[in-house]
Amino acid sequence: MSFIDPEYDGGGDDDLSIKGEIETSSVPELLRSFLASGETGILTFRSGEVTKSLYLQEGKLVYAASNNPDERLGESLLLRGRISARQYIEAGQLIRPGRRLGAILVELEAIESEELTPAVEQHVRDILVDLMTWTRGDYELVMKEVDSQNLVTVSLNIENVILEGLRRSRNWSQITHGLGGIDVVPIKTGNTDVLYKLELTEEEQELLGHVNGNSTVEQICQVSYLSNFETCRTLWAFKVLSLIRIGQEGDVEGVRARERAMDLEEIVEKFNQMFGRIYTFLRGRHGDEADRFMQTALDEVSRTYGALFDGVDLSHYGRADFEQMLANVADLPPEQRRSLMVDALNELVFAIQLATRQRHGAEEEAVISGIIKDGLRRLGAG
């Protein structure tokens, strides 16, 4: 099967097209939008002298091409050591109209015929991953039928390609614009179809666990294992991929309304069940050190929440004394008392998680993170 030419000269006069500038959105957001709407046509991005064309068929990406000399199939195969420099030169000399490099390489037995499609898929992936990092240029979608007879079509996990590209972003202004700032509250969408397709790292999975519908981006940054930049970039990737959305005021109030509907003592008990499970695990691993560990985490949070934790001792079974905490803030109005106690206990949860990472390593932190995720789910915040 032959390859298409990498250059594309636009659609005919009767072809409907959509044009715009990359700066007004972003490449991954544009691509996701066009795929989600089931478009068929050729989506071309231009930046300076470089042009990349993506071939869409009923909402699926079937091919991509670039006019960048360093992004041709031959260079891709040479870079990966799949062909030699001599094979590359000889094949290039045989290229003629109607004879494409891939077919020539198969004829020269430089690659096996069954290697051609995987090689093209990797080539397309490389083009896309680089494209995801573009921040300037323009785009045009020409809606027309794609002649798949002249393509070596590919089948890629486009969600993972987009994620891989976004991991390489270095543009802070684009990231914060995409998120809407660091004061917004991300909320999980529950889109399990996309989630199951993604190959998330442990850090990315943990970060998604911190999205509880209550915490702002800035607050999530404070408890994330990743740097603030990486945390924001990953949250933006989650947003592009529809794993999260940015909550409106009513969304956040809805979470808080559910909290108010729960009895405060019941809330504290659910936190205590979480703390108790964490304590039991740490006790089994570190013996009496677990008492000191839990109390140190409490002391750290007490610096922010002052008198709330006066007389509270986590060194016995990891439980916070509800009656003692209530007595410490008895002079506050009920709503303020409730808010303070819930915020402080949330802070304590992530202080314990952070301390586990710092003192006991990633393996134990993974266990603690699992306990926390389950605990937050039971609280209705996960």
The model's pLDDT over 185-200, given as tens digits with 9 standing for 90+, comes to 999 888 888 888 898 9
CA distances from 50 to 47, 54, 131, 237 (A): 5, 13, 10, 25
> Cα separation of 78 and 371, whole Å?
48
Q: What is the mean pLDDT of residues 292-320?
A: 85
Q: What is the DSSP string of 89-140?
A: HHHHHT-BTTB-HHHHHHHTTSS-GGGHHHHHHHHHHHHHHHHTT--S-EEE
| Nearest by Cα to 340 from 308, 318, 310 | 308
- Between CA 158 and CA 167 the distance in angstroms is 14
Model confidence, pTM: 0.60
Domain ranges of the chain: 16-162, 171-209+217-245, 262-379
Q: Which one has a higher pLDDT value, 54 or 148?
A: 54
In the numeric block, which tokens belong to residue 290?
Answer: 């677990």
Residue-level pLDDT at 263: 79
- The residues pairing with 244 across neighbouring beta strands, listed in sequence order, are 188
**Model pLDDT, residue 322:** 86
pLDDT digits (tens, 9 = 90+) for 322-356: 888 888 888 888 778 888 888 889 889 888 988 89
